A = this chain, B = another copy of it.
Amino acid sequence: MAGRNENSKRAVLEATSEMLSDATVQQLSIEAIAKRAGVGKTTIYRWWPNKSAVVIDAFMEHHLIHTPIPDDVPVREALVTHVTSLVEQYAGPGGRLVAQLIAESQYDEQILTAFRERFWNGRRAAVLELVKRGVREGELRDDTDAELMVELVYSPVYVRLLLGYRELDREFARAVVDAAFAGIAPATAKTSPGKKRARRITRS
């Protein structure tokens, strides 16, 4: 039995990676990747179901985004650090690629799944951990909805990435984290919201 040739795999991912710096995912073609990698098209189709799968793998190998979460500072600051570095990386070429992967996901359930598993879930887990610490150390309310927290913190980043609505910068990162921690109702409000808020924000 033959077994997979690691050289081919590497060549494909490398070629893809290189080409992605000049072209969009849509512009890439399996044919061009194969030619650039010096590999038969069949070899690509043998190991990947489609173009986006190749792109995801290439991205994971060469463009991996590292977003450290310090654990020796208050949770809020740790989050700011984390989101800031995420934002900074998404502001570069890697961001365009991630946006395109999300685009491809709209047409292929498998890409969507892969994207969620390889990008979203990793970060989500880190934030969940962080929230747990925050609760433990009293920095967050006991009934904090951690999952919602994940979405509150990341969603604006992804929307800016996708819609280019406004700049992806550190200011923005801090504002988002602050908002997630604070809310914007008048600090003096003594009305029901105070209580309701706690209830509402908790998700089953």
Q: Which residues of A contact B (CB under 8 A)?
A: 24, 26, 76, 96, 99-100, 102-107, 112, 115-116, 120, 138-141, 144-145, 147-149, 151-152, 154-156, 158-160, 162-166, 171, 174-176, 178-187, 193-194, 196-198, 200-201, 203-204
28 A-B pairs with CB atoms under 8 Å apart are: A24-B106, A76-B185, A96-B106, A100-B106, A102-B106, A102-B162, A112-B164, A116-B163, A120-B165, A138-B186, A139-B185, A140-B186, A141-B184, A145-B184, A151-B160, A152-B152, A152-B179, A155-B159, A158-B158, A171-B204, A175-B200, A175-B203, A179-B183, A181-B184, A181-B197, A182-B193, A182-B197, A184-B201
Known: A175-B200, A180-B179, A201-B175. A186 touches B102 (CB 8 A): no
Q: Is the CB of B183 within 8 A of A180?
A: yes
Partner of A148 from the list B175, B193, B194, B198 (CB cut-off 8 Å) is: B175
Closest 6 CB pairs of A and B: A183-B183, A182-B183, A155-B155, A103-B103, A178-B200, A182-B197
Known: A106-B162, A151-B160, A179-B148. A200 touches B185 (CB 8 A): no
Seed contacts A76-B185, A102-B103, A105-B163; 9 additional CB < 8 Å A-B pairs: A102-B106, A103-B106, A112-B164, A139-B185, A145-B175, A158-B158, A158-B162, A178-B201, A187-B194
